[in-house]
Amino acid sequence: MKKQAHSHPNYQGFVDEVEQYFATSTELIHDARNQIKNIDFEGESLTVKSFKVPHLLNRVVYSFFRQSKAQKSYLFAEKIGSFTPEPIAYIEYYQHGLISKSYFVAKHYAFDFDIRRPLLEPDFPDRTLIFKSFAAFVYQLHEHNILHLDLSPGNILIKRDDEGQYQFKIVDINRMKFGSLSAKQRAKNFSKLWANNEDLTVMLLEYATLAAYDQDLFVQRGLQANQRNKNIINFKKRLKGHPVND
């Protein structure tokens, strides 16, 4: 099995043995289509994402026509800098000339919670401050011409600093767009949070204030995009006979 990788030199020993490190780690933090583990390497905690082996057609596509998800995660992390945990490496394994396993490695970010908790827990401390701070964070993303295409609750990590302020990092960044953004695109970017209208309005009003947008129009656009996203997801759930959540 052929391997190709790009990494910081200090972590070459980890990259060379990434499969062994990943297989023996017991600190599993996400287990769905892809797996994510925290792994100790020479006293430092690293977060490693193992991507599911694509089906045959996508193995061809990712081998010859597109960058792999691991490579995109690494390159996008380098591009957006402090908005995401620091990237360390991406590693790709090839079998019979086609991509097989792949990994993305970043420095572990010791976050306190993700944004799901304040969205789902009405009594969560500092909810309003968190939502306003998050709106300011997204505004800075957009001002740097960064559009995260999967800005969903599990991809937004939050840490409370010593001064009581909230710091944010985005993860799962292999789906991004870069370029100047319209007000409509900016408002729509909040739609995957699955927030209720009251909480989302707090975010949209804060964003509109920072951007000097018409507040009523911006909130209207954001709420409409939010409801459209919910309608689409719930329609798909109904087709599969799954319960819906409005």
State pLDDT tens for residues 67-93.
999 999 999 999 999 999 999 999 999
Q: For the segment 22-68, what is each residue's pLDDT rounded down to a tens digit?
A: 999 999 999 888 999 999 999 999 999 999 998 889 899 988 899 99
User: What span, in angstroms and rounded, lies between the C-alpha atoms of 47 and 74?
Assistant: 13
Q: Which long-range contacts (CB under 8 A, 24 or more apart) does 113-117 make?
A: 113/158, 114/153, 114/154, 114/155, 114/156, 114/157, 114/158, 115/153, 115/156, 115/158, 115/193, 116/153, 116/154
Whether the CA torsion 141, 146, 147, 153 is positive or negative: it is: negative
User: What span, in angstroms and rounded, lies between the C-alpha atoms of 124 and 118?
Assistant: 5
Question: Side chain identity at 239, as an amino acid letter?
Answer: L
Name the residue with tokens 């790709």: 92
Q: For the segment 184-208, what is each residue's pLDDT rounded down to a tens digit?
A: 999 999 999 999 999 999 999 999 9
Predicted confidence band at 101 (pLDDT cuts at 50, 70, 90)? very high
Predicted confidence band at 239 (pLDDT cuts at 50, 70, 90)? confident
Reduce the DSSP state of residue 186 to 3 states and report it.
helix
Predicted confidence band at 2 (pLDDT cuts at 50, 70, 90)? low
The model's pTM is 0.92
Helices (H), the chain: 12-16, 18-24, 56-64, 69-80, 116-120, 127-143, 183-188, 197-211, 215-239
**In this structure, what are the phi and psi dihedrals at residue 114, rounded to the nearest 5 degrees?**
-100, 175
User: What span, in angstroms and rounded, lies between the C-alpha atoms of 130 and 167?
Assistant: 9
For 66-76, b/e burial (b = at least 16 CB within 10 A) is: eebbbbbbbbb
Question: Side chain identity at 111, as an amino acid letter?
Answer: F
Reduce the DSSP state of residue 94 to 3 states and report it.
strand
Whether the Cβ atoms of residue 78 and residue 87 lie closer than 8 Å to each other: yes
Question: Which of 187, 231, 182, 193 shows the shortest CA–CA distance to 206?
Answer: 187
At 3 the pLDDT is 67
